[in-house]
């Protein structure tokens, strides 16, 4: 566990503290900052990068304004220690999947073991980390049981929650209630976010446009 990773975690918890304090969704995220502090450092993470990270993380971090720049630069410094994953590995190839999947990546900072690998900090009933979405990429509409809290760190993005599209910029939050559909479309910028699930880390993510209609039993999150 490097000093840089510990610094990243402190920055992350401070940012989530601030977001929860100014959120009106106190019943959904009450207690989240305290639970972030209960995570346990693991000895070694099997780190991976992805082509989308190699292509866009530098650009996204350089564009992050204050006060989010501190967290973004802490992420960049520790990126080689994180396990950046390809989301939705279980979905079959299709034009929609193939346009999205290589152009998005997630790195857990805290959470349970996932696909047999540990994040830097183990925590039960909680998933927290970072996502990177390349420019001109559509993350199709999806939903899941756990409520979700996103914070935009870099880039402007169109964000659909329910039936309404919102323009989001650095510092904006996006809150998804349980099973509320959401979709994110980048334009010219790569978009870097932090993200937390406050419970239900083993839940399935339903993506109606890509999952077969009868695929309701997939056992693992994206
Ligand atoms: Fe989500």
Centroid of ligand 1 to alpha carbon of 141 (angstroms)? 9
Grouping H, G, I as helix, E, B as strand and the rest as coil, residue 35 is: helix
Query: At residue 213, does pLDDT exceed 90?
Result: no
Phi and psi based region of residue 130 (left: phi greater than 0; alpha: psi -120 to 50; beta: remaining): beta
Verify cis geometry, omega within 30 degrees of 0, for the bond prior to 105. Answer: no
Centroid of ligand 1 to alpha carbon of 193 (angstroms)? 12
Cα–Cα distances in angstroms (integers) from residue 197 to residues 1, 28, 134, 190, in the given order: 23, 10, 22, 22
Query: At residue 220, does pLDDT exceed 50?
Result: no
* 96 or 161, higher pLDDT: 161
Helices (H) and strands (E) in the chain, counts: 6, 13
Centroid of ligand 1 to alpha carbon of 3 (angstroms)? 30
Phi, psi at 89, each rounded to 5°: -60, -25
**Class of the 3-206 domain?**
mainly beta
Q: Which residues surround ligand 1, an ion (CB under 5 A)?
A: 148
Centroid of ligand 1 to alpha carbon of 200 (angstroms)? 12
Centroid of ligand 1 to alpha carbon of 182 (angstroms)? 7
Q: Distance between alpha carbon 164 and the CA centroid of its chain, in Å?
A: 21
Query: At residue 215, does pLDDT exceed 60?
Result: no
Q: Regarding beta strands 121-122 and 104-111, do their DSSP bridges make them parallel or antiparallel, or are they unpaired?
A: parallel
Determine the pLDDT at residue 131: 98
Q: With beta carbons less than 8 A apart as the criterion, state whether 147 and 120 touch.
A: no
User: Domain coordinates of the chain in residue numbers?
Assistant: 3-206
Centroid of ligand 1 to alpha carbon of 72 (angstroms)? 21
| DSSP category for residue 135 | T
Grouping H, G, I as helix, E, B as strand and the rest as coil, residue 18 is: helix
Query: At residue 31, does pLDDT exceed 80?
Result: no
Mean pLDDT of 49-59: 98
Q: Which residues of 151-162 are buried (b: 16+ CB within 10 A; e: fewer)?
A: bbbbbbbebbbe
Q: Kindly report which listed range (57-61, 120-124, 213-217) carries the lowest average pLDDT score.
A: 213-217
Mean pLDDT of 2-18: 89
Centroid of ligand 1 to alpha carbon of 131 (angstroms)? 11
Centroid of ligand 1 to alpha carbon of 111 (angstroms)? 15
- Using 50, 70 and 90 to split pLDDT, how confident is the model at 210? low
Mean pLDDT of 15-35: 75
The model's pTM:
0.92
């Amino acid at each position: 566990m490097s000093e840089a990773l510990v610094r990243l975690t402190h920055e992350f918890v401070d940012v989530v503290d601030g977001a929860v304090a100014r959120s009106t969704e106190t019943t959904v995220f009450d207690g989240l900052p305290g639970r972030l502090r209960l995570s346990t450092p693991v000895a070694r993470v099997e780190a991976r990068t992805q082509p989308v990270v190699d292509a866009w993380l530098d650009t996204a971090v350089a564009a992050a304004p204050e006060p989010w720049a501190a967290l973004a630069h802490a992420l960049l410094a520790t990126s080689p220690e994180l396990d950046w994953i390809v989301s939705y590995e279980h979905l079959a190839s299709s034009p929609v999947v193939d346009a999205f999947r290589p152009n998005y990546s997630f790195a857990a900072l805290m959470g349970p073991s996932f696909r047999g690998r540990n994040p830097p900090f183990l925590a039960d009933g909680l998933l927290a980390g970072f996502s990177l979405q390349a420019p001109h990429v559509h993350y199709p509409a999806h939903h899941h049981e756990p409520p979700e809290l996103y914070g935009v760190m870099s880039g402007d993005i169109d964000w659909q929650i329910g039936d309404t599209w919102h323009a989001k910029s650095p510092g904006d939050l996006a809150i998804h209630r349980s099973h509320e559909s959401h979709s994110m479309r980048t334009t010219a910028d790569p978009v870097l976010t932090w993200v937390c699930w406050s419970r239900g880390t083993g839940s399935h993510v339903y993506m109606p446009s890509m999952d077969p209609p009868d695929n309701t039993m997939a056992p693992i999150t994206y």
